[in-house]
Structure 1
């Protein structure tokens, strides 16, 4: 059996160099010869033991080794396998001496005997270094001393490979790249490439004129970068838009012809990279810069295109007409008939509310304390298994809704709110925005209000107005509600009882602007803290608002129906970001302001330093955020109109001429 298997060693392996067998029975070019015959002075030396005996420690991957042969003058031949990592030890040297002496004697007498092999580990597969070479040379010297002086066997040492140098990229010329399948003839592609490159050069030159700081200079492209960008864009359209290549690249050229330097700067801001050719750290989380390419007056003029008519939004909380006196009276009678029994907005329990306090004990509400979850629900991760459903949890405590035992937060009283326009008007009737000739015609404002729970429901406690698009504060006041306060809803409103108590009372004719006080933080003594003034009633706050807007003034906000209803106004020019960025499932489901700012502009708002004690929202921050979203929409809508042929002539936006 062994002879038949050994006969296979003379046959070439069918798998060739791709063979991965541990000890292949067939012949390979890289194998160590099983029989090495050295002819010296007419004498033949017997072959060494089989290669399989020498390669017991071989790794699975084959290693190409050069056979070591003795010089012609040698009286013996031996195969030595060197190790780069292990030097010969003294016992091995002794065995070598014995082996050499035993081999020399038969050679001189003419007898043929099998020499004793010296088996050592194979060289490491790791590339050779200077250290490994020195160790190999030391091992060779020790072996040379142990053998006869005339024996100088050749050595095979893995030499370190020189590191491959990156071949510098050759500068490209303005010539379309060779493609496997060209969408057009070369002459046609060349003309289109030159036309596109011409527009890129023009836009880059215009940007260079306005580049005054280092940030703007980084956006500029060199001549070679302009060529590469042109060829990259043309190649992308030729591959991805093969069937409409001609239209695609012509539309791009036309868009570049109509593109302003501001729009080109915006594109470069999105594609820019740092000097090392890598994206800047946290570039994906850097706030996005909005460049509309319009002046402030043109942006305000264009903003009127985003106004939503109130007539079609009455089903979603907007009030389009003033409730009549009869409807208001019916709402009051229904409240009286129910005995002021309400449903808690937090725990859904029924309770009784006492406006003006209950006479016997001075209570504002019945049915004790309110235990609830202040956070909204969300779906957690899926459990193990394909058929498992994600668990629904509360954001405040991350408890499962199904495992809930009641709530994680306890409030002194129950609270409620109402959305019925007639009942809202029973406390303060709605009013339409009156004409105001003193208001500038080119004014647009961001609007946001904060509400708290009182014995009359959800009432206005703070009102903020900022100019658009610069975000400068025009009005920011606290408001004393009509009913007794049950809960200021500080978690969301940001208004604390101390703010209401320590606020300076505002009177008609006084300056409504906040006063600055030194910061109470010892680490930041130079900072100034704004102290808002307290307006005596929601009606007084509404009068202040009417003094700063007119019916043609765009009001920008997120979920404007809540803010308008809290102030009890009907405004015809509203820009609601809930309607500008609708939820994919449509109303009444809506996207949150915080989510929109994070996903669209990479800006973080409504941050909380401590989740257990949230500071609440800042109405000024929310108003500015809604204004930024509206400005982003202006930019997108204006880009669409430019594609359709709209342009700016004599400072005005004009439609295309047909």
Structure 2
């Protein structure tokens, strides 16, 4: 607690009658408010994500005077933990801030020097962060602050620069400078948009040999589908939970006796992925694994940290998928422009039939304009909309306006009062996956190149077989090969220096934006075209007078980046 607050509650000297306890409390609150106002003048307010992290003290021409603070948690009306625990956590958080600030100090140039924090500013930032969590997340204080410490422990210098840059810009909203200092790649392919379109057939994959990895190239027969349905009924619709691995039953149409959708009670699980703790150099002990969501050890037997109403499951068996809605080949559509290519992404939610399509998005390529973005009402009763990843909430489904084939399937875009926030997109809803698929066929044809990341998931969700597919999972393969794959978020950050799928707040993610994911996949394809075209140019490819790509003559070769005529070894 700072000296300013101590003065507010110190004994009054002899003289007039001391104020009542209520008045004294008001004085304390008033002094705290003034102190926090002065702190706010020197720092921005805590934000909700890694891209806009809680406030820190920014340098000003005339910073407000304030009493120096020590690395000691501030006095609170209701402490969320013991003082010793809070001190230990404050010190751990301060250590990470100090590390990042020291790393920045070694390389800071120009405007970056303004992002450096003094020793006192580092302390105040730490206490601000801890107080924010202690007062707003009292019931989950230990988990929240440990997640915060872990976030900064894993933060790179580039991410720290990005955070400091955003805080600097928020303090100077008139600034027109870049928000981030990360190496964001600008894609210049050296080709026109039409030439890029001409290049796409070189990137199309044959999906037939990829069937073991979930890519479907032929329509399941009706007899096979009947057999798969009979097998599911024979086992009593028993499934394994996708989250907690417990066995349970599902009841399509609800169980007659009590109207329930699934058995075996509620699902307790860990929504966060496992990660390995860093070990000291030379430490050969077994590495500990922890869950990102709550920092519990994998070996603990305490169960999950999150509880859902139902157990859920998914199936990738094409026969079971076809039993809900069978696959079809994309039909020819003469109304679709011949030079159209699209980026495609779907979001899925859990129903009594597994993972079903609940959002369908198509954007043009390479422009990225939205051609189609709708919600989809699934066939089965919903167990969980999987909002953490899909971004679709129950109120989105219930309040959405209906759309049909031939009607308006564009989202309604509503600007926000805050120019830094994305506009609100109100999506319309298709009454079934079949109607959604029919709407999709109004914007693509069998000849349309379809781009996506992990396309087998999206194509299977929409129940379509498309021969003209470009999958960024296959363009940028994992070093260990399929079924391992690089995530879209990872590829965008490592290849293009861009962040996508950023959680809005710790513990309350908004899920993926399928429009953003579709555009991201399209950008990765342009990056591949750029790299492939550079290689082709080195081999002698050129652009013809009509803009066409011209293969090198057999009489010429390329040496040192220049074309030279081949030696006549027979003359």
The TM-score, its normalising length taken from structure 2, stands at: 0.64
SS of residue paired to 1:544: helix
Task: Give the Å deviation of 1:638.
Answer: 0.5
Q: 1:423 to 1:625 in 2, by over 3 A?
A: same
Q: 1:643 to 1:282 in 2, by over 3 A?
A: farther
Question: What is the rounded CA distance, in whole Å, between the counterparts of 2:351 and 2:326 in structure 1?
Answer: 18
The answer to whether 1:312 aligns with 2:213 is no
Distance 1:572 1:588, change over 3 A: same
1:629 pairs with 2:524:
yes
Does residue 606 in structure 1 map to residue 501 in structure 2?
yes
Alignment partner, residue 652 of structure 1: 548
Are 1:492 and 2:389 an aligned pair? yes
Q: In the alignment, what sits opposite 1:368? A: 265
Cα gap change, 1:470 to 1:400, in 2 (>3 Å): same
1:533 paired to 2:428: yes
Partner of 1:408: 305
- Compute the displacement of 1:456 (Å): 0.8
Cα distance, 1:283–1:612 mapped onto 2, change above 3 Å: closer
Deviation at 1:548?
A: 1.1
The partner residue of 1:513 within 410, 415, 431 is 410
Determine if the alignment matches structure 1 residue 285 to structure 2 residue 219. no
1:404 Cα deviation from its structure 2 partner: 4.7
The alignment status of 1:615 with 2:510, answered yes or no, reads: yes
TM-score, reference length from structure 1:
0.56
> For residues 160-199 of structure 1, what are the structure 2 equivalents within 5 Å?
none
Distance in structure 2 (CA, Å) of the matches to 1:479 and 1:585 = 35
Number of residues paired by the alignment? 377
- Give the corresponding residue for 1:547: 442
Q: Where does structure 2 lack aligned partners over 5 or more consecutive residues?
A: 1-176, 555-571
Distance 1:646 1:422, change over 3 A: same
CA deviations 1:596-631 (Å, max 9, x no partner) are 100110000011121211100000000000000011
Question: 1:592 and 1:528 mapped to 2: Cα distance?
Answer: 26
Q: CA deviation at 1:375?
A: 1.6
Question: How far apart in 2 are the matches of 1:651 and 1:475?
Answer: 31
The alpha carbon displacement at 1:384 in A equals: 6.5
- Which residue of 365, 373, 398 maps to 1:501? 398
Are 1:345 and 2:270 counterparts? no
Relative to 1, partners in 2 of residues 1:584 and 1:525: Cα closer, same or farther, differing over 3 Å? closer
Q: Secondary structure at the match of 2:500?
A: coil
| Match among 565, 568, 575 for residue 470 of structure 2 | 575
Q: Are the equivalent residues in 1 in contact too, given 2:195–2:547 (CA < 8 A)?
A: yes
Shift of 1:401: 1.2
Matches within 5 A, 1:3-152: none
SS in 1 for 2:410: coil
Q: List per-residue Cα deviations over 1:466-503 (Å, max 9, x = no partner).
A: 00011000000000000000000000000001100111
Q: Distance in 2 between matches of 1:580 and 1:283?
A: 28
Instruction: Report the CA distance between 1:581 and its aligned residue.
Output: 0.7
Segments of 5+ residues of structure 1 without an aligned counterpart are: 1-279
Partner residue of 1:475 out of 352, 368, 372: 372
Partner of 1:140: none
**Partner SS, residue 436 of structure 2:** helix
Provide the secondary structure at the position in 1 that maps to 2:279: coil
| Alignment correspondent of 1:386 | 283
Q: 1:390, CA displacement in angstroms?
A: 2.7
- Whether the 8 Å contact between 2:345 and 2:361 is mirrored in structure 1 is yes
Local SS of the residue matching 2:482: coil
The structural deviation recorded for 1:380 is 2.0
Q: In structure 1, which of residues 418, 427, 448 is the aligned counterpart of residue 324 of structure 2?
A: 427
1:65-97 Cα distance to aligned partner (Å, 9 max, x none): xxxxxxxxxxxxxxxxxxxxxxxxxxxxxxxxx
1:462 to 356, 359, 368: 359
TM-aligned CA distance change 1:621 to 1:282, over 3 Å: closer
User: 1:59 matched to which residue of 2?
Assistant: none
**SS at 2:202's partner residue?**
helix
- Residue 585 of structure 1 is aligned with which of 470, 480, 483? 480
Q: Which residue does 2:533 correspond to in 1?
A: 638
Residue 399 of structure 1, CA deviation? 2.1
CA deviation profile, 1:23-71 (whole Å, cap 9, x unmatched): xxxxxxxxxxxxxxxxxxxxxxxxxxxxxxxxxxxxxxxxxxxxxxxxx
- Change in CA separation of 1:498 and 1:560 when aligned onto 2, cut-off 3 Å: same
1:525 CA displacement: 12
Highest RCO, 1 vs 2 (Cα 8 Å, sep ≥ 6)? 2
Cα distance in 2 between the residues matched to 1:352 and 1:375: 25
The structural deviation recorded for 1:654 is 1.2
Residues 493-547 of structure 1, C-alpha deviation per residue, up to 9 Å, x if partnerless?
A: 000011001111123432111223464xx65699852210010000011111111
Instruction: Using the TM superposition, give the Cα deviation of residue 392 of structure 1 relative to its aligned residue in structure 2, in angstroms.
Output: 1.9
1:324 & 1:465 partners in 2: Cα distance?
29
What is the rounded CA distance, in whole Å, between the counterparts of 2:222 and 2:450 in structure 1? Answer: 28
Q: Distance in 1 between matches of 2:458 and 2:335?
A: 24
Q: Deviation per CA, 1:254-292, whole angstroms, max 9, x where unpaired?
A: xxxxxxxxxxxxxxxxxxxxxxxxxx9997614210000
Task: Pick one of 276, 291, 294 that aligns with 2:191.
Answer: 294
Match in the other structure for 1:73 = none
User: Aligned to 2:358, what secondary structure does the other structure show?
Assistant: strand
